[in-house]
Structures are given as C-alpha cells and as structure tokens.
Amino acid sequence: HFALGFPGGFAGVDVFFVISGYLITAILLRRLATAPRRFSFANFWKRRCRRLFPASAVVLAVVLAVGNGTMLREQYTKLSHQTAAVLLLGANFHFYNVTDSYFFDQESIPLLHCWSLAVEEQFYLVYPLALSTLFVRRCGSRGGDGVRAAVFLAVAVFASFAFAVVLAPVDPNFAFFLLPSRVWEMCVGGLAWLFECYM
C-alpha cells in the first residue's frame, strides 16, 4: 500500500476474507453442532466485539490524535466522518460514496483500509442468521445438515462470484467495496472447513 517495493499487497485482503470465512464457519458450526437451539447471536457478536473493538479503538484514537495536529480543518472534518462510518460498521459504504477508486485515493484517506473490516462485520451480521436458519446440527454428517450447509455455501460462492464478475466492468467501486461481491471469498473459506469435516 505504501509502495515500498513489495507488490501484491492487495491480494492479502482476498486471503484475509477466505481465512475469516474459514474461522467463522468453524466457530458457528461447532456451536450449532453441540447446542443448536441455544445458539445466541448476541453472544456471538459479543465475542466478535472483544476481538475487533480494542485494536480498532486504538487505531481510531491514534489517527484522530495525529490528524488533530497535522490536518487542516476540512481534512479533519472528513476524518471525523470516516471515523463515524467505521464505528457504525459502514466504512465500506462511506468510501464507496466518497472515493473514485481505492487505488487512487489510498494515500490521502487515513482510514481507507477500514473498508475491509466493515465488510467482515457485515458478514458477521448475515452469516450466523443464514446458518442458524438452516438448523445445522452436525458438521460433516454425510446425509444431512453438513451437506445442506455445503450446498448453501456453494450456491453463495457461485452467485456472489458471478455478481462480482458481471458488476466489475460496470461499477468497479461497488465490486471492490461492498459485501455482495465479496461474500464468495468468505464462503470459499467456509467450504474449505466443511471439506476438512468430510475428509
């Protein structure tokens, strides 16, 4: 991102989404397998907040402090809007609306990298609801819930990837920043974990 001579850094975000999907699928399906009727969306999000919020709060505080001493008023106002978007789990929507391209604006927007965190957080809102609705009870059961989860994830991968491919030439910023065209990466991670269960 800082042009220090190490190419390919943007692919790291794609890998991050796959790993995130793998880990979240493991957490959710293990919980649903042991106590499907006692799964708590609130407890799931409480654990996610404990993992994400401390580091995010430190980053926001440092960037705001540095910005306060180095930015003009108009720039700092924009930074405060970015910070609010991050706190409201909507940084990707904010940057989709205010930037022409991630690759063009990256050096002038201190919190631009938080778009990927917002995508992950939005995935955390949708994915547990989808899996718990499927009543997945036993990961890896060859004839039941594990298969249904795998079919669901495969369909999600195909639909999201096809959407991203079709949309990229028309609205590349949408394809880059927003969840619908990124879901396939996280669901690939989920499929990888289910594949381990079957193996």
Task: Using the predicted structure, report yes or no on whether residue 157 has a pLDDT greater than 80.
Answer: yes
Residue-wise pLDDT for 123-146, tens only, equals 999 999 888 877 654 554 444 567
Q: What angle do CA 47, 50, 51 make, to 5 degrees?
A: 90
This prediction's pTM: 0.86
Give the model's pLDDT for residue 2.
55
Longest dimension (CA), the chain: 62
Q: How far apart are CA 111 and CA 118, in angstroms?
A: 11
Give the pLDDT confidence score for residue 76 in this predicted structure: 93
- Tell me, what's the pLDDT at 144? 56
Per-residue confidence (pLDDT) for residue 143, from 0 to 100 = 46
The angle, 0 to 180 degrees and rounded to 10, between the axes of the packed helices 145-167 and 183-198 is 150
pLDDT at 190 over 50: yes
Q: Write the burial class of residue 182 (CB in 10 Å: 0-12 exposed, 13-18 middle, 19+ buried).
A: buried
pLDDT tens digits for 9-44?
567 889 999 999 999 999 888 888 777 667 788 888
Mean pLDDT (the chain, rounded): 86
CA separation for the pair 125, 48 (Å, rounded): 11
Contact present, 95 and 115 (Cβ < 8 Å): yes
Q: Look at residue 6 and tell me whether its pLDDT is greater than 70.
A: no
Q: What percent of the chain has pLDDT over 90?
A: 56
How far CA 75 is from CA of 83, 112, 186, in Å, comes to: 12, 14, 34
Residue 192 pLDDT more than 90?
A: yes
Supply the pLDDT for residue 3: 60
Q: Which of 184, 179, 177 is nearest to 103 (CA)?
A: 177
Q: Measured on CA atoms in the order 70, 112, 54, 7, is the torsion positive or negative?
A: negative
Structure tokens at 52: 């994400």
Q: Tell me: the pLDDT tens digits for 83-119?
A: 999 999 999 999 999 888 777 666 678 898 899 999 9
Beta strands in 68-188 (DSSP E): none
Nearest alpha-carbon partner for 196 in 151, 152, 150 = 150
Q: Are 156 and 97 in contact (CB under 8 A)?
A: no
